[in-house]
Amino acid sequence: QQNELNSFLWTIKRDPPSYFFGTIHVPYTRVWDFIPENSKKAFQQSHIVYFELDLTDPYTISALTSCQLLPQGKNLQDVLPRDIYCRLKRHLEYVKLMMPSWMTPDQRGKGLYADYLFNAIAGNWEQKRPVWVMLMVNSLTEVDIKSRGVPVLDLFLAQEAERLRKQTGAVEKVEEQCHPLNGLNFSQV
């Protein structure tokens, strides 16, 4: 029963109440049916909603993109061992070749093309820091490609909050997410 599921919703008892809801970065369609009604009701009743980051703000997206890049003049080939770089390059060539067969008719019907999608995900990969390339490679699977075009849960809720004219904000800045990841050394990545 849905009402017996762990909702990842905490209530801060005050007047009016505040809620804290833990989300995950997956397409919302994978989890929406499993989110209990108490969480959906808390969202609907809230007037102000804060997210991890403001994914509807163009500055946030731009800053996230910039923070992923190696220092100017550096290339992934300069920082990865040659064998790993070559394996990565071959794997990305394989993904690019397979991507048309991984896409759904619905995606094609919406005008998504495999080359466009590949470039949107993996474009400029040779200028990215290893940790971000690792995260990118982890998202280049058939299952993930088939769900491209569907917003992750955080973005879906942010879009809903905007549509419902709720006041929104973010609890973190891009730098607070970027710097710890960029601080990992190669063996940690």
pLDDT band at 188 (very low <50, low <70, confident <90, very high): confident
Do 100 and 148 meet the contact criterion of CB atoms below 8 Å apart? no
Comparing CA positions, the residue from 60, 2, 26 lying closest to residue 143 is 26
Domain residue limits, the chain: 1-181
- Percent of the chain exceeding pLDDT 70 equals 96
Q: Give the Å distances, CA to CA, from 20 to 10, 39, 145, 182.
A: 5, 9, 30, 28
Q: Give the Å distances, CA to CA, from 178 to 31, 64, 129, 150, 175.
A: 26, 7, 11, 24, 5
pTM of the model: 0.77
Do 114 and 53 meet the contact criterion of CB atoms below 8 Å apart? no
pLDDT digits (tens, 9 = 90+) for 38-77: 889 999 999 999 998 888 888 998 999 899 999 988 999 9
Taking phi over 0 as left and psi of -120 to 50 as alpha, with beta for the rest, 70 belongs to beta
Phi and psi torsions of 170, nearest 5° = -130, 145
